[in-house]
């Protein structure tokens, strides 16, 4: 789960990372009011969206007075900001963060990631701040400092000092840099983050080490341990299909194709998507309905898949081990009666009680296309979608 910059800054500052003075606003008037309250001469108005690259896309504006702040906000609120990280549809701006502008001497890149190869938290830093890490690694790969943290002892001060030294931090600021590194590391570890990125971390004209930007991502599977982090979720920044699925306890990832998939088990869902591609189609989603596929759950899954306008056929692929095919078949029949499904539906059942399941589908009188093998199911889905004759489908018996 991603959170906003202003939230990440608050989290990190609780761990000792220094941040500029700032305040959140939900309207242009509030932004101007907040700036006045904060004091100072110049402010930065920053669009709060779950993506970076805002600076280049017009989502970060330097302002010198009330009018400029209001004008900057008018241009942001309610709009979609498209950056190189958002995809072409962009992300809606509903909150802005107003910050006291600071004089920048140096910009540094600082990131903490989960390194799967070493199975450790890895610190990635570069003296070339302000640039995206992808560009730094393409253009100035030698400037990147990498350091993995031994989990049994945590990040030690000498290790943090070594990083500061490699970044060319002047001796008077080493202690501040160590505090920043320690703060980020502890926030990452204690809150089950998967990523912390400060780009840029700046050395100010008055010799402070400040996080000017902050990004944090958390492990969704560990959120139950951190209710204060779960609360920071902002659904306006998520794919609406995925947030609806998460609310219903279904595991869903929206894709660009047009064959909707309802599958039990993540591995089978992946195999189903691969097979659809092999048969010449494109899956519209990944959807794992889990082990106990009750009729209600199957109906929920149908509703979710059908809410995607691109879906032109639905493939239900169930391997019943703990599940029972007859139960799933009843769920499918019930779902098709409750949910308006005006596209071809292909069902492949295998495993426990498969014969009973097939009988239920056949007796239902619904135009369900049945298949025995996964390949057959994928091929029938692709041809049903291509022939686009959902209104006069015949029940194919297997």
Task: Give the active site residue among 109, 128, 252, 376.
Answer: 109
| Tokens representing residue 287 in the block | 């959807």
Shortest Å, Cβ 294 to ligand GDP: 44
Instruction: Between 25 and 110, name the residue whose CB sits nearer to Mn ion.
Output: 110
Question: Active site includes 33?
Answer: no
Task: Give the active site residue among 99, 107, 197, 330.
Answer: 197
Question: Active site includes 109?
Answer: yes
Site residues (CB under 6 A) for ligand GDP? 44, 46, 52-55, 60, 99, 101-102, 104, 130, 199-200, 212-213
Strand-pairing partners, residue 260, are: 314
| Tokens representing residue 184 in the block | 């980020």
Site residues (CB under 5 A) for Mn ion? 199, 213
173 binds, options Mn ion, ligand GDP, none, Cβ within 5 to 8 A by partner type: none
| Ramachandran angles phi, psi of 168, nearest 5° | 75, 30
Strand-pairing partners, residue 123, are: 112, 147
Strand-pairing partners, residue 11, are: none
Taking a C-beta distance cutoff of 8 angstroms, is the pair 60, 116 a contact? no
Shortest Å, Cβ 103 to ligand GDP: 7
Instruction: Between 130 and 367, name the residue whose CB sits nearer to ligand GDP.
Output: 130
Burial class (CB in 10 A: 0-12, 13-18, 19+), 153: exposed
22 binds, options Mn ion, ligand GDP, none, Cβ within 5 to 8 A by partner type: none
Omega prior to 200 cis, within 30 of 0: yes
Instruction: Between 5 and 376, name the residue whose CB sits nearer to Mn ion.
Output: 5
102 binds, options ligand GDP, Mn ion, none, Cβ within 5 to 8 A by partner type: ligand GDP
Q: Which residue is nearest to ligand GDP (CB)?
A: 55
* Dihedral sign from CA coordinates of 167, 45, 55, 91: positive
Only one residue has tokens 């702040």, namely 69
| Tokens representing residue 51 in the block | 């993506």
44 binds, options ligand GDP, Mn ion, none, Cβ within 5 to 8 A by partner type: ligand GDP
Q: Which residue is nearest to Mn ion (CB)?
A: 213
| Tokens representing residue 189 in the block | 């570890």
212 binds, options Mn ion, ligand GDP, none, Cβ within 5 to 8 A by partner type: ligand GDP
Active-site positions? 109, 197
């Amino acid at each position: 789960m991603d959170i906003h910059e202003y939230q990440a800054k608050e989290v990190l500052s609780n761990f000792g990372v220094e941040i500029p003075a700032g305040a959140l606003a939900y309207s242009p008037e509030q932004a101007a009011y907040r700036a006045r309250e904060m004091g100072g001469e110049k402010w930065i108005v920053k669009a709060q969206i779950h993506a970076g690259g805002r600076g280049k896309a017009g989502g970060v504006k330097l302002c010198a007075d009330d009018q400029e702040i209001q004008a900057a906000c008018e241009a942001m609120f309610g709009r979609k900001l498209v950056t190189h990280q958002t995809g072409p549809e962009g992300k809606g701006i509903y909150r802005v963060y107003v910050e006291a502008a600071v004089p920048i001497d140096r910009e540094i890149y600082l990131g903490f990631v989960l390194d799967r190869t070493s199975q450790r938290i890895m610190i990635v830093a570069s003296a070339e701040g302000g640039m995206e890490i992808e560009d730094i690694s393409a253009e100035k790969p030698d400037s990147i400092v990498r350091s993995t943290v031994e989990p049994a002892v945590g990040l030690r001060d000498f290790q943090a000092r070594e990083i500061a030294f490699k970044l060319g931090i002047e001796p008077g600021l080493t202690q501040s840099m160590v505090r920043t590194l320690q703060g980020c590391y502890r926030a990452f570890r204690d809150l089950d983050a998967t990523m912390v990125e400060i780009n840029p971390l700046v050395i100010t004209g008055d010799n402070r080490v400040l996080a000017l930007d902050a990004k944090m991502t958390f492990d969704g599977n560990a959120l139950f341990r951190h209710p204060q982090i779960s609360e920071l979720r902002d659904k306006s920044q998520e794919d609406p299909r995925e947030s609806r699925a998460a609310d219903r306890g279904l595991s869903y990832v929206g894709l660009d194709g047009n064959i909707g998939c309802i599958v039990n088990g993540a591995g089978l869902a992946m195999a189903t998507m691969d097979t659809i591609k092999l048969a010449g189609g494109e899956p519209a989603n990944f959807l794992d309905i889990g082990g106990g596929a009750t009729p209600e759950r199957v109906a929920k899954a149908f509703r979710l898949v059908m809410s995607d306008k691109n879906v032109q056929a639905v493939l239900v692929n169930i391997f019943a081990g703990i599940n029972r095919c007859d139960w799933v078949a009843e769920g499918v029949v019930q779902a098709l009666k409750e949910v308006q499904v005006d596209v071809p539906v292909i069902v492949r059942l295998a495993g426990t009680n498969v014969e009973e399941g097939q009988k239920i589908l056949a007796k239902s009188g619904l135009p369900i296309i049945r298949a025995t093998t996964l390949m057959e199911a994928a091929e029938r889905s692709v041809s049903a979608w291509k022939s686009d004759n959902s209104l006069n489908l015949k029940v194919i018996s297997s």
